[in-house]
């Protein structure tokens, strides 16, 4: 209704506001103003009433004043000329005997956000800094920050900056903290407030007087302070020590961050600070608000990157509750994986097994993934659980299990037999692209051991016309070729059909190029095919450090502790679950591609243009930047990897790959390959 | 922390009220909030932080409202959430219920509050007790609104103003402990803890000085002097009025209380308590025909105590029908909209054991959607009893005028997050 009758209502309100009868009747006047503000909140454009509202702010009634100010601040940018009229009233209010009125006027004067009015505002602000009432000083101090934000190019008068530094010693703690905030904004280009010894000590001494917000602010500013001597450092640390156990999570987190930055040179102190803060952190991870719980979990994940043993014995705190939202469950699962050790592995696996059947698909996939990554370093019970899950015949579970198995056997080839026996009786149909891709990969690699492999492949090849996903098709090509190597008799015919289809009828260029690549590779002779394709089946030990993460130094993440970033990292790792390739999978594909690429470029006959290979690499979001001429050693290639998945290596990264020797055997080719990853 | 703007949205994403604090983020960005949330919900990956361009949305949901803060800086996320929850707390104290209607009915007060709570993206006065002194809902009526500066804005004791008067001086102390419990399907306790709070309702004149004495056992645990026998309290929090330096030196909890209701302290005890109400359940599902449920509840607390309003909530399949119940006490009913069978027992004496049997029919055409395995949850309340054994020894009230005041103490133990996983 307000949307339709908007204009009519505005006209009616204007009449009412300028009606002298209403103006003299306090109650009716105020009610009319209420109606204006209500319409404004509902999204009706009432900016046309600006000049009428300007008159209404000359009143003794504070509530009415506040409402008019809200109106004026919302529409000032639309009516810059008329706003000049308000300034007079506001300036008059700035000298009102009532401090409430003074602070209100001062605050709204700055909130009008009109650069042209700044010259009128500066004088009352300067006066406000010296006001008797703390509430006026609070507003005046922040007012200068607002002026700076409006006119970023003009410098704030040095006298004002000095005055602000002086007000750091104001008796009112809020004024002090506001001063810090304002100076941080004003002096941003110079790196924020200059924290020297007297200021640092003054702030530390007054820390207790501030409220939670103030304390967090002061603690974060203090990070820039560098104590002169070790004695001073330890005095500060012992002064702050009780705050590490503070029951206010923000204060605890801010103190911990300060500890980490002050002691960046003393890793032992950092570790003991982390241990001290463990209790409050765990309490925060069990906080009643889910958002705060999530924030705490993300930060715990950060801590575990450096101190994997920190929470070991408290793993039970990270069990998921039934009603918890998926994002909390998923981060808890990720934490649980980190906390697994010899003693609790059985219990944790049991618990994770329960999550695998969660109603939320993402959560169940995260749990299955987690079991897979535990399987890399712990017993084969994981494999039992995973293969057991296949029997549930739930599509999304099966798909996740296959992907996990694929990643697992690549790192731990000793599980190959068990995976084969699980796949032996395979007869399901999968709809999910990623699951099908994983199934095909497993079939290709274990084609010689799985008696049914060619028949499953045949089903896929028969249905290739109706297959939409290019990813599945390229995977199918590779798998067929691999099975062909071990069982040529059963596969040759259908491989021919597949290659023919992909080369002659396929519309997707990447698939077609891949098929052409294999076709020409087959021309080079079976030995070359074997050399290129079968090296991908064995895991590469030199990649070990990339897969298993060594503990990072604390300084790696100390700067982002207690900010937004860990939460964004957490969020992107949630999205990672829906991203087709995991880290391991990516590296594996990459290696395969590079080997093909290199073998191909160096292959004497037939010469194929490297451009068609570049197209093939683009399939996995890889762009070739440069590579050395064929037949030169060492052979180098630079690749730009564009990732939708920030957690892996950052959004973009350049990989430089160097191959020192002509790959005589696939084995030595891998050991002579160096991969350097630089995020950009 | 620096928040650019705060929005209150309804469930359809319409802005009910907003406040632009910094002006460095376009207010129209909020239009992207709900579409983003919807896509995340569809993919099942909702997250309390979302990004659009370089704007971050940090949001919480309360009843039928979204409270959203926008920022384009790498600010302190947990502090922003804490502020949003503070908003909820302040609004709730003002309107008793924070929901769409109360925001619309009180938009004047909401604007005033948003103005005081934050300035230029930095939290200012957030204590609702102080705010209530100078922002009143009566302000909306015509009596000339209070224009006096409240003393508390500049006062040394920021949580209590001077000159409070009561005819009868009384303090009510509530010690409330809630038990969180998680039992897995084979009946072993996975985790249990006690969350306790001491709540005050003070109706005292002037500026009284209060001293609270708790029983030694709890205090020893706090000091860590006696680690062997006593339970260890973790995470003890006090209201800002408690003098922590006094507490650290001689373990007395001394304070000038805020007027009216407040939470003096809270604590957590992480220990294996014997589950006060133990549930054994057998749920047998004969697919296509019926479900048989047998639940046995046992009160594992002192015989003298009685648990009130015990509610055992047993999950049933969503397609169940024709419920039949048989109980040894209390009554049971089927709540189809929540897929629960709820068994209520008005009073449950300690040491007793009760039984409920239920059977449901299942349709012959099976629901192929996967259902989770919700746990059995139990609600109860046991008055005059605390699990941890904490007790109030004394409460001394000293005021300059020397009046006599009466302290009243009440103990309650109740269920918190009390879950027993079922095996059906």
CATH class of B5-132: alpha beta
Asked whether the predicted pLDDT for residue A206 surpasses 70, the reply is: yes
Closest approach of chain B CAs to the CA of A441, in angstroms?
Answer: 26
Mapped onto helix, strand or coil, the DSSP state of residue B176 is strand
Q: A43: which 2 tokens?
A: 């999204």
The pLDDT, as a whole number, for residue A279 is: 84
Q: B325: which 2 tokens?
A: 């119940």
Query: Which DSSP string corresponds to B217-234?
Result: HHHHHHHTS-TTTSPPEE
For residue B106, what is the nearest residue in chain A, using CA coordinates?
Answer: A38
Closest approach of chain A CAs to the CA of B357, in angstroms?
Answer: 24
The pLDDT, as a whole number, for residue A195 is: 87
Residues of A in contact with B81 (CB under 8 A): 289, 291-292, 295
Q: Is the ipTM of this complex over 0.90?
A: no
Q: What is the pLDDT of residues B327-379, one digit of tens each?
A: 988 899 999 888 899 999 999 998 899 999 999 988 887 666 666 778 899 99
Which has the higher per-residue pLDDT, A623 or A447?
A447
| CA B234-B235-B237 angle, 5° bins | 135
For residues A543 and A249, the answer to whether their CB atoms sit within 8 Å is no
For residue B374, what is the nearest residue in chain A, using CA coordinates?
Answer: A322
Within a 13 Å sphere around the CA of A133, how many CA atoms are in the beta-carbon half?
A: 21
Residues of A in contact with B60 (CB under 8 A): 289, 291
Of B76, B145, B268, nearest to A62 by CB-CB distance is B145
The pLDDT, as a whole number, for residue B174 is: 93
Asked whether the predicted pLDDT for residue A407 surpasses 60, the reply is: yes
Give A270's contacts (C-beta < 8 A, 6+ positions apart).
A259, A260, A263, A264, A554
Of A134, A316, A361, nearest to B44 by CB-CB distance is A361
A317–chain B Cβ distance below 8 A for any pair: yes
The stretch B89-116 carries a mean pLDDT of: 88
Asked whether the predicted pLDDT for residue B31 surpasses 60, the reply is: yes
Mapped onto helix, strand or coil, the DSSP state of residue A560 is coil
Q: What is the pLDDT of residues B143-154, one digit of tens each?
A: 333 444 444 454
Of B74, B111, B127, nearest to A563 by CB-CB distance is B74
Q: Find residues 440-469 of chain A whose CB sits inside 8 Å of chain B.
A: none
Mean pLDDT rounded to a whole number for chain B: 83
Round to whole Å and give the CA distance between B265 and B262: 9
For residues A321 and B182, the answer to whether their CB atoms sit within 8 Å is yes
Mapped onto helix, strand or coil, the DSSP state of residue A334 is helix
Round to whole Å and give the CA distance between B235 and B230: 16
Q: Find residues 176-205 of chain A whose CB sits inside 8 Å of chain B.
A: 177-178, 181
Q: Which of A334-348, A412-426, A650-664, B45-59 has the lowest average pLDDT?
A: A650-664
Q: A333: which 2 tokens?
A: 């699962």
Query: Which DSSP string corresponds to A563-600?
Result: SSHHHHHHHHHHHHTTSS--HHHHHHHHHHHHHHHHHH
For residue B193, what is the nearest residue in chain A, using CA coordinates?
Answer: A317
The pLDDT, as a whole number, for residue A339 is: 87
Query: Which DSSP string corresponds to B274-305?
Result: PPSEEEEEEEEEETTTEEEEEEEEEE-S-TT-
| DSSP class of B242 | B
Residue B283 Cα distances to A648, B103, B176, B334, B372, angstroms: 45, 46, 34, 16, 15
Mean pLDDT rounded to a whole number for chain A: 79
Round to whole Å and give the CA distance between B124 and B109: 17
Asked whether the predicted pLDDT for residue A604 surpasses 50, the reply is: no
Round to whole Å and give the CA distance between B175 and A648: 50
Round to whole Å and give the CA distance between B153 and A134: 8
For residue A316, what is the nearest residue in chain B, using CA coordinates?
Answer: B191
Round to whole Å and give the CA distance between A329 and A313: 19
Q: Find residues 569-628 of chain A whose CB sits inside 8 Å of chain B.
A: 570-571, 574-575, 577-578
Q: How many helices (H) and strands (E) does chain B have?
A: 7, 23
The pLDDT, as a whole number, for residue A589 is: 57
One CATH from 2.60.40.1170, 3.40.640.10, 3.40.1210.10, 2.40.180.10 for B277-383:
2.60.40.1170
Q: B249: which 2 tokens?
A: 């030196």
In the sheet that holds B55-62, the strands lie side by side as B15-20, B5-10, B65-71, B55-62, B49-52
Query: Residue B233: exposed, middle, or buried by beta-carbon count in 10 A (0-12, 13-18, 19+)?
Result: buried
Contact B108 A253 (CB under 8 A): no
Contact A316 B191 (CB under 8 A): yes
Residues of A in contact with B190 (CB under 8 A): 316, 319
For residues A320 and A328, the answer to whether their CB atoms sit within 8 Å is yes
Asked whether the predicted pLDDT for residue A30 surpasses 50, the reply is: yes
B149–chain A Cβ distance below 8 A for any pair: yes
For residues B411 and B383, the answer to whether their CB atoms sit within 8 Å is yes
Pairing of strands B253-255, B209-214: antiparallel
Contact A37 B107 (CB under 8 A): yes
The pLDDT, as a whole number, for residue A194 is: 85
B277-383 matches B170-273+387-420 in CATH topology: yes
Neighbouring C-beta atoms of residue A169, cutoff 10 Å? 13
For residues A311 and A335, the answer to whether their CB atoms sit within 8 Å is yes
Q: What is the pLDDT of residues A87-138, one digit of tens each?
A: 888 888 888 888 888 888 888 888 888 888 888 888 888 888 988 888 899 9
Closest approach of chain B CAs to the CA of A416, in angstroms?
Answer: 31
A523–chain B Cβ distance below 8 A for any pair: no
Sign of CA dihedral A521, A524, A526, A530: negative
Asked whether the predicted pLDDT for residue B215 surpasses 80, the reply is: no
* Domain regions of chain B by residue span: 5-132, 170-273+387-420, 277-383
Query: Residue A544: exposed, middle, or buried by beta-carbon count in 10 A (0-12, 13-18, 19+)?
Result: exposed
Round to whole Å and give the CA distance between B278 and A166: 64
Round to whole Å and give the CA distance between A255 and A241: 8
pLDDT category of residue B229 using cuts at 50, 70 and 90:
very low
A-B interface: how many C-beta pairs under 8 angstroms?
Answer: 202
Round to whole Å and give the CA distance between B13 and B366: 37
Of A26, A174, A212, nearest to B124 by CB-CB distance is A174
Q: Which residue shows structure tokens 């049914």? A: A452
Round to whole Å and give the CA distance between A601 and A608: 7
pLDDT category of residue B83 using cuts at 50, 70 and 90:
very high
Contact A30 B142 (CB under 8 A): yes
Fold entry, domain B170-273+387-420? Immunoglobulin-like (2.60.40)
For residue B71, what is the nearest residue in chain A, using CA coordinates?
Answer: A564
For residues B350 and B317, the answer to whether their CB atoms sit within 8 Å is no
Contact A138 B123 (CB under 8 A): no
Asked whether the predicted pLDDT for residue A10 surpasses 70, the reply is: yes
Of B47, B85, B248, nearest to A571 by CB-CB distance is B47
B215–chain A Cβ distance below 8 A for any pair: no
Question: Considering chain B, what percentage of its residues have pLDDT values greater than 70?
Answer: 88
The pLDDT, as a whole number, for residue B9 is: 92
The pLDDT, as a whole number, for residue A111 is: 86
Of A41, A62, A283, nearest to B147 by CB-CB distance is A62
Q: What is the pLDDT of residues B372-391, one digit of tens each?
A: 778 899 999 999 888 888 88
For residues B360 and B323, the answer to whether their CB atoms sit within 8 Å is yes
Query: Residue A70: exposed, middle, or buried by beta-carbon count in 10 A (0-12, 13-18, 19+)?
Result: buried
The pLDDT, as a whole number, for residue A438 is: 87
Give B243's contacts (C-beta < 8 A, 6+ positions apart).
B254, B255
For residue B23, what is the nearest residue in chain A, using CA coordinates?
Answer: A113
Which residue, A56, A2, A6, A66, is CA-closest to A28?
A56
A247–chain B Cβ distance below 8 A for any pair: yes
Which has the higher per-residue pLDDT, A303 or A569?
A303
Question: Considering chain B, what percentage of its residues have pLDDT values greater than 90?
Answer: 23
Asked whether the predicted pLDDT for residue A62 surpasses 60, the reply is: yes
Q: What is the pLDDT of residues B265-296, one digit of tens each?
A: 888 887 777 889 999 988 888 877 888 999 99
B1–chain A Cβ distance below 8 A for any pair: yes
Neighbouring C-beta atoms of residue A243, cutoff 10 Å? 21
Cα torsion through B128, B133, B138, B139, rounded to 10: -100
Q: What is the pLDDT of residues B139-184, one digit of tens each?
A: 443 333 344 444 445 455 667 877 888 888 899 999 999 998 888 8
Residues of B in contact with A140 (CB under 8 A): none
For residues B299 and B276, the answer to whether their CB atoms sit within 8 Å is yes
Round to whole Å and give the CA distance between A485 and A635: 28
Residue B331 Cα distances to A333, A352, B133, B326, angstroms: 39, 36, 48, 8
pLDDT category of residue B88 using cuts at 50, 70 and 90:
very high
Buried/exposed A115-131: b ≥16 CB within 10 Å, e otherwise: eebbeebeebbbebbeb
Residues of B in contact with A277 (CB under 8 A): none
Contact A292 B58 (CB under 8 A): no
Contact B60 A289 (CB under 8 A): yes
Q: Find residues 96-135 of chain A whose CB sits inside 8 Å of chain B.
A: 98-101, 107, 113, 133-135
């Amino acid at each position: 209704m307000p949307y339709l009758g908007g204009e009519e209502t505005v006209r009616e309100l204007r009449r009412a506001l300028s009606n002298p009868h209403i103006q003299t009747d306090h109650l009716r006047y105020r009610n009319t103003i209420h109606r204006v503000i209500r319409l404004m909140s509902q999204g009706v454009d009432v900016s046309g009433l600006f000049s009428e509202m300007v008159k209404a702010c000359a009143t003794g009634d504070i509530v009415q004043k506040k409402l008019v100010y809200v109106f004026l601040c919302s529409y000032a940018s639309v009516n810059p000329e008329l706003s000049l009229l308000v300034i007079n009233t506001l300036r008059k209010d700035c000298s009102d005997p009532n401090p409430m009125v003074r602070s209100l006027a001062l605050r709204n004067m700055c909130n009008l956000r009109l650069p042209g009015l700044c010259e009128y505002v500066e004088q009352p602000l300067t006066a406000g800094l010296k006001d008797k009432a703390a509430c006026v000083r609070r507003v005046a101090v922040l007012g200068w920050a607002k002026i700076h934000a409006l006119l970023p190019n003009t410098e704030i008068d040095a006298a004002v900056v000095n005055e602000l530094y002086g007000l750091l010693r104001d008796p009112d703690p809020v004024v002090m903290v506001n001063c810090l905030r304002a100076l941080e904004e004003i002096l941003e280009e110079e790196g924020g407030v200059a924290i020297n010894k007297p200021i640092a000590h003054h702030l530390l001494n007054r820390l207790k007087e501030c409220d939670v917000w103030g304390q967090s602010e002061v603690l974060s500013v203090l990070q820039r302070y560098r104590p002169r001597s070790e004695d001073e450092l330890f005095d500060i640390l012992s002064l702050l020590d009780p705050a590490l156990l503070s029951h206010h999570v923000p204060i605890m987190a801010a103190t911990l961050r300060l500890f980490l930055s002050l002691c960046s040179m003393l890793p032992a102190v950092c570790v003991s600070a982390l241990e001290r803060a463990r209790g409050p952190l765990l309490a925060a991870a069990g906080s009643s608000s889910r958002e705060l719980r999530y924030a705490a979990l993300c930060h715990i994940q950060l801590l575990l990157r450096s101190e994997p043993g920190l929470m070991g014995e408290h793993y039970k705190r990270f069990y998921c509750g039934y009603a918890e939202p998926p994002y909390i469950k998923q981060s808890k699962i990720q934490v649980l994986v980190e906390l697994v050790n010899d003693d609790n592995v059985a219990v944790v696996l049991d618990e994770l097994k329960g999550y695998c059947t969660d109603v939320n698909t993402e959560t169940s996939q995260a749990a299955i993934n987690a079991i897979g990554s535990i399987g890399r370093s712990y017993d084969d019970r994981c494999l039992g659980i995973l293969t057991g899950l296949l029997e549930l015949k739930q599509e999304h579970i099966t798909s996740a299990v296959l992907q996990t198995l694929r990643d697992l056997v690549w790192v731990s080839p000793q599980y190959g037999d068990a995976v084969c026996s699980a796949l032996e009786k395979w007869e399901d149909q999968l709809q999910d692209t990623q699951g099908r891709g994983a199934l095909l990969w497993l079939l290709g690699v274990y084609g010689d051991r799985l008696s049914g492999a060619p028949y499953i492949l045949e089903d896929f090849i028969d249905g290739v016309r109706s297959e939409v996903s290019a990813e599945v098709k390229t995977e199918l090509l590779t798998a067929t070729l691999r099975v062909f190597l071990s069982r040529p008799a059963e596969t040759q015919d259908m491989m021919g059909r597949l290659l023919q289809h992909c080369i002659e009828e396929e519309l997707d260029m990447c698939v077609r190029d891949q098929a052409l690549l294999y076709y020409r590779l087959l021309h080079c002779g079976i030995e070359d095919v074997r050399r290129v394709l079968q090296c991908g089946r064995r895991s590469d030990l030199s990649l070990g450090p990339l897969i298993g993460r060594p503990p990072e130094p604390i300084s790696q993440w100390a700067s982002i502790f207690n900010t937004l970033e860990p939460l964004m990292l957490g969020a992107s790792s949630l999205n990672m679950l829906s991203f087709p390739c995991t880290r391991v999978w990516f590296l594996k594909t990459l290696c395969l591609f590079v080997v093909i690429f290199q073998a191909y470029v160096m292959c004497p006959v037939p010469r194929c243009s490297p451009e068609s290979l570049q197209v093939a690499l683009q399939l996995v979001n890889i762009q070739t930047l440069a590579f050395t001429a064929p037949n030169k050693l060492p052979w180098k290639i630079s690749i730009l990897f564009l990732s939708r998945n920030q957690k892996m290596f950052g959004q973009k990264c350049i990989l430089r790959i160097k191959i020192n020797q002509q790959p005589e055997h696939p084995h030595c080719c891998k050991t002579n390959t160096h991969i350097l990853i630089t995020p950009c | 922390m620096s928040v650019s703007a705060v929005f209150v949205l309804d469930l359809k994403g319409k802005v009910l009220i907003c406040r632009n604090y910094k002006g460095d983020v376009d207010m129209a960005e909020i239009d992207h909030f709900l579409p983003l949330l919807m896509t995340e919900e569809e993919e099942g990956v909702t997250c309390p932080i979302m990004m659009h361009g370089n704007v971050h949305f940090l949001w919480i949901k309360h009843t039928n409202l979204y409270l959203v803060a926008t920022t384009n800086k790498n600010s302190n996320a947990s502090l922003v959430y804490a502020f949003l929850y503070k908003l909820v707390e302040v609004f709730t104290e003002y309107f008793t219920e924070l929901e769409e209607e109360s925001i619309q009915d009180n938009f004047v007060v909401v604007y005033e509050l948003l103005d005081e709570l934050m300035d230029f993206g930095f939290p200012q006065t957030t204590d609702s007790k102080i705010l209530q002194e100078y922002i009143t809902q009566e302000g909306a009526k015509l009596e000339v609104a209070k224009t006096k500066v409240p003393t508390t804005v500049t006062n040394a004791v920021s949580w209590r103003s001077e000159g409070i008067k009561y005819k009868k001086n009384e303090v009510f102390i509530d010690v409330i402990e809630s038990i969180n419990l998680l039992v897995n399907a084979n009946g072993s306790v996975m985790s249990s803890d006690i969350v306790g709070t001491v709540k005050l309702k003070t109706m005292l004149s002037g500026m009284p000085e209060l001293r609270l004495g708790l029983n030694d056992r709890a205090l020893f645990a706090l000091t860590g002097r006696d680690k062997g026998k006593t339970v260890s309290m973790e995470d003890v929090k006090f209201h800002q009025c408690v003098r922590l330096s006094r507490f650290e030196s001689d373990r007395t909890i001394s304070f000038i209380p805020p007027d009216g209701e407040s939470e003096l302290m809270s604590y957590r005890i992480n220990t294996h308590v014997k589950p006060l109400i133990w549930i054994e359940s057998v749920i047998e599902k004969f697919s296509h025909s019926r479900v048989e449920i047998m639940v046995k509840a046992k009160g594992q607390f002192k015989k003298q105590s009685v648990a009130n309003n015990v509610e055992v909530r047993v999950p049933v399949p969503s397609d169940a029908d024709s419920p039949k119940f048989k109980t040894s006490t209390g009554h049971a009913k089927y709540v189809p909209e929540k897929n629960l069978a709820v068994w209520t027992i008005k009073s449950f004496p300690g040491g007793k054991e009760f039984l409920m049997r239920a059977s449901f029919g299942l349709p012959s055409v099976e629901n192929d959607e996967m259902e989770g395995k919700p746990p059995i949850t139990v609600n109860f309340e046991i008055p005059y009893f605390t699990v941890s054994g904490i007790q109030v020894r004394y409460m001394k009230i000293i005021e300059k005028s020397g009046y006599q005041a009466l302290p009243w103490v009440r103990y309650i133990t109740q269920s918190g997050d009390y879950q027993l996983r079922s095996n059906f």
